[in-house]
Homo-oligomer: A and B are copies of this chain.
């Protein structure tokens, strides 16, 4: 997250928003943000969303996720929004969409479906 310059901008119960600037350091040969960076932020957004519904004393790890890359991530910022689809005792399923913020508006650039697991916080 720090490497990407990302910040968690909005948190509700079961929903989060993270945004990060489209810097050169996370861009690839075509000049748009690398799929890996978009995926990282979607994963983080899903993880934080799951955390808002996790039992006390637990943290959240990613079990797995799938991401579809829908359009080149070009713009000033990338915004990832995630929601909890179902919160179980052990597993939480989240979806997330990433948007590129462009002068003409938000453009959907990627979508994720993720499985998170609650694990007891180590002391």
Contacts and interface: CB of A to CB of B under 8 A. Distances in A.
Interface string A1-44: 11100000000000000000000011010000011110111011
A90 B117 contact: yes
A67 B64 contact: yes
A91 interface: yes
Given A66-B66, A68-B113, A115-B64, A34 B39 contact: no
Contacts of A34: 1, 40
Copies in the complex: 4
Interface residues of A, number: 37
Interface of A: 1-3, 25-26, 28, 34-37, 39-41, 43-44, 61-71, 85-86, 90-91, 93, 95, 108, 111, 113, 115, 117
28 contacts: A1-B28, A2-B25, A3-B3, A3-B25, A35-B40, A35-B43, A35-B62, A36-B39, A40-B40, A62-B69, A63-B91, A63-B115, A64-B68, A64-B115, A65-B67, A66-B66, A66-B67, A66-B113, A68-B85, A68-B113, A85-B108, A86-B108, A90-B90, A90-B117, A91-B117, A95-B111, A113-B113, A115-B115
